[in-house]
Structure 1
Amino acid sequence: MNLSFGHSVFLFFLILCSGLKAQAQFPFTNTTPTYTQNFNSFNGTFAGLPQYWTILTQASIAQRGEGCGSDNAGGLWSYYSSSSERALGYLPSATSDTFLAQVTFVNNTSNVITSLRVSYNFETWRRLSSGRTNGFTVSTNIPGANVSSLSHSQAPSGMSTCTQLSTLKSLVLNNLSVLPGQTFYFRWGGGRGTSSGASNGIGIDNVTIEILCPPQTINKDTSICFGSSFIDSKLNTYTSSQTFFDTLQTAAGCDSIVHYNLTILPLITQTVDTAICSGQSLVFNNQTYTTSQTGLKDTFTNANGCDSVVTLNLTVNPVYQHTLNESICQGQSYTFNGNVYTATQHGIVGNFQTIKGCDSIVTLNLTVQPLPTLVLNKTICEGESFTHNGITYTTSQTGITTFYPVPGSCDSQVVFNLNVLPVNPLTQTEMIRACFEVQYRGMTFYRDTVIRDTLYNQSGCDSIYHIATIEVFNRPPSVMYTDTTACGELWFNGNLYTQNTTVIDTLKNSTGCDSAIVHTAIYIEHIDMFLSIEDPHDPYEGESFLLRADNRENQGFYVTQWLPEHIFDQDKRLNYQRLSLNGPETLMVIATTPAGCMDTAVLLVEPREYNKNMVIPNAFTPNGDGKNDVFRPFINLDRAYSIIDFKVYNRYGQVIHASAHSSQGWDGSFNGKVQDNGVYQYIIRIRFIDGTEKQFKGDVTLIR
């Protein structure tokens, strides 16, 4: 950029800029390539500057308002000859004022800006001295942009007050490289001017910044059919799918870049295999076909507008006629065309479709063959059995039919009839018992024996059964051991037992012989449950204590349940539970012995009131008389709390006693030295079993 003022002035400008806020920027876009500002609404104040403009030297000049200026008025002006035509102006004063106005832009196009046209009107207002030259130096921060020819100065003569002399300044900047997102500015700077004499008012108006030939890039997707070609503006020919660029000129003579995505749509070919039945026809490509054909072709236009070639292969399937001769055996059935047949039939016609969908006419002739039959009759006595075809029968049967396969023919059937003759024999029984031996029918028996004799009737069936049962009891009596268990007491064989014992009993059979010696072990289990409170035995409300269950009989037991269940959260099988109560509660335990004897124990637990009240003395007398010798808090509780902090301070704020045990208290000494009479401060902090804490602060008077 080109600046006409010296390094010191430039440094001064930087110092001024460092305190300014970020400047708004006019956004150049693809649709907004031109900026124009005519200042017709400018009122001559810093706040009234148009958007995107700022005065970088506000600290060194004053706001002068609207009009055409006055002698040596100095500062910022809105010059006008009429209120509808204004300019951004500056009138140097007698001192060396510096004026610097800036407009800021940002490249929000999608392309690099390479060319700009910059123009404005340089205006001179009222002449005060023909010898003084005033002007603006134009600068920019665009790299490589030379804007010195836009600077202008003028020493007018012959002008009347509040008249205007306007000069158009214009410049085209080429070979620029303003990237997308990059900001840039243009500045107009003026000083006191040259020569002597009063200054002239100067201004700028009709500022125009224009992007020349802003590049336009257009993305265009296009497609052609296979076998066709695409020709761009340079007469390049494309026949395959690809991307390429083409440069066109707009009506204004600027380049417009088209980015083509070319797609070659494929030629769609399809082969269709179809079939019809003999006697049917098919129309394809406006032709009717009744015989088999191959390679028939037709061309269609698909949805993309390209050719689609269909090749047809036509097959004509024949219609079949068939006669079916079938035979079945008597008792069987035959299903044909959805109907079931069990008798001889001829000429049954059925219409079917082949797997290719054509008619197939079948005529059925059905013959039913009879079965050969054999009758088998058999007689047995009641109580006997007969096996036929693997099945054993003991009762009369009629018409049991069994089929036997015959190779190459129908099954043969055997009809089985079984007659069971009734038998009503008389049964005569005899029982002979004795110890060691039995004499029967001239014979001596030393062991148990059953003698059977059967008489038959004329049909060969049983008539009389004679059964003699001999029982000889010559065996030593058996010895048996049993045991039984009872709860508390047991009545056994008419006797009452309350302690463990063994009872021996001898059993005799109906013959009077000893048969068994029974040893019965009697076990009496005793259970008398009770509950007791431990650790501590007199709990406060909310204080944890141990509840224990025991058997007064000193025999083993198992706990099966603690009640109420919601109070106990430990293993319910334990004989003890740890819990806390907030009020009176009736507690129960249920227990059994190994033999299943059950007992319960009930205990009403009334926890002591958990009273947190306490008394802290305001004086004590550590004189060794055994009365009020130690300073400590007096709490209604004998436990279930902890003193977590107990400190005593002298009047200098020194800790002279620190303890966490109320039983010790303070004996009025510090490091073994007796403390003086006086007032001392204390802090006592106590934590209770419910988690709450109390802190006490106060004074205590030591009196000896």
Structure 2
Amino acid sequence: FASGTLGGGGGGGGSSLTPAGFTCVGGNVPSAGSITITPIGGVGMVIEPTSPQFCEGDSLLLTLSGADNYDWFEADGLNVVDGPTAWVSPLETTVYSVIASNEKCIDTVDVNVTVIPYPIITVNPSYITTCNEEVTLTATGAFQLEWTPNESLSGNGFGPIQYANPTETTVYTVTGTNSGCSSDTTVTVAYQLEVESTEYFCEGGTYGLPDGTEVGEEGTYIANYVSLEGCDSIVTVNLFEQSTYDFQMPVQLCAGESWTLPDGSIVDEPGTFPVVLQTNTAQCDSIITTVISILQPFTTENTLALCEGEPVTLGDGTVITEEGVYTVVLTSATNGCDSTVTSNVIFQPNYDVAVELDECDDGSYLFPDGTLPTNSGTFNFDLQTTLGCDSSVTIDLTLNPAYDITYSDAICSGQSYLMPDGNAIEVGGPYTSILQTNAGCDSAITVQLTVHPLPDVSSGANDSYCLYDGDIELYPMPSDGSFSGDLISGTTLEHEGAEPGNYQVAYSVTDANGCTNVDQVNYVLATPIEPTFDFEMICNELELISTVSDPNDLFGYTWFLQNELVGVYSNPTYFFDESGTFDLELAVTDQYGCTYSTTEQVLLQNALNIEGFYVPNVFSPNGDPYNNTFLIPSAVSACLNYEVDIFNRWGQLVYSMTPATAAFAGNDENGNPLPEGVYYYTMEILEYPCNETPQLQPYCSGTISLFR
């Protein structure tokens, strides 16, 4: 038994809780009490395997028993947990902890899993050559070492040292094992070569000897060389040429028969069948091509047309003298295939024919003997049919004439020419019409057509004229034509007394080829314009205003002041610097080039006019629509350069006003509002200084009252 203070606990398997089956009541003792705990033993655990270890990189299944519940602590390599079992694959030796419990006890179990690394095997040498001499091989890196194959080893194949004497190049594998974990490596012992062999090469080819030489003839070849292993080697090659074959074999079969090819395959249809075979020694390709043709049963029908009275001999020797259908079955003497011949025997009569013909004499008709007739008449011909049967033909021939006519003709450009066949032609060149006579014979009519150009014509007339130009004399080209149209008399357009409007004049000329060309001109006799204008003067600015109706802006305008050009638009502005009376002229040119003008006298004054001039003495910049600024009347402000300086009662300049600045609005130069009161001003006009202009002096200084 063990005893401890309440509230203690801790340590492997201990607890600070009230043990199962006990009851603690606070305050039942006046001081610290004690409780007796009887241990009943830990959890009896069994681990499988008992000493867990495995080779690095593998996995291991751990299995616990002896408890009801298992709680595995997280650790490296702990992969799959299922109650008492767990798969582990640590990279190094690792301790895994498990809390195991049953209904009475809880305990912690530590499982140490040992990871065994694979041995690293080193052999010396890893590659060596031998020429019938024993070589020593050593290996390190493991407790257990096994060599395979061990037939050419002088030891038993186990241990770090072995003695090898192979009779051929051999690769030995060394397997090293530490605690059941194995790895291996290899060592190569190369052996000297001494070989004699019989070889073959195909006809027309070459053979590559071991020393790299290519030969194409039979013989014995000895090659001495040093192998990659460093041993002298001798290769003797007895070389023979193997013949190859390539031939074609034609085969004829009757329909329904078959043929077996050299490779054993059976064919029963026509075609070319190549079979590639190899010789037994050098496996040289040989080709046997079988060309098979199928002889079909020959069944034919023919017609034997004979001259009347001649006999015919059939294929089986039968002689026929009467018309009819005869069937003969024959057997081929070469291939034995049956053929059937059906002959329709007919007899052609001999002919004695008389005909009457009407033909055209155009070379299209030939006599039965191939000659060309040149005249009408009766003609006899002794002929043979295609079968050689004699026939007599009598032809009563009438040759009807055919025509081939050629002539020239001409038209003027723009005309069309009607050909005999009804086609209309407008371009020059040869044209042929093929017609038929009443007898149906083709006749050709060829027309060489010339198209004459029309003469060049100019009436000399313009598209428009001005009424004030009066009668117009025309100078046409060429001069031997004739005029027609409105207002024309001879070569004169009589415009005197004519009304404005649209008129027409035409000039016609016919040349030596009879071709006529007309120059027709539709022209306008322009309606006269009566120019009128008005003007306005502001200071020395003269604004000119045309009052001519020109809704489409078609007219041109020029203004002259005393014969000097001053404007080229309908409403120009002119600045003058002289006073007096001047002639002002407006010239208007219409869209036809006709110009009309009018002149008036105008009085220009380049002087100061102060009639009605005044300077206001009060203003109220309070934002209402009235008197918000101090303004100089337009007689001065619009025309002259002035400066008005405004001072307060202490003589301080508060604002300067010029044509380039804003009007005085009760603010100083910085825009700050000025107080109400009386202000003083002085005014100076650059063009009219106050000391030289008495009529301005009453206005050159004064007071202004500002009210808000």
- Return the TM-score normalized by structure 1: 0.25
Between the two structures, name the one with larger relative contact order (CA 8 Å, sep ≥ 6): 1
- Return the TM-score normalized by structure 2: 0.25
Bigger Rg, which one: 2
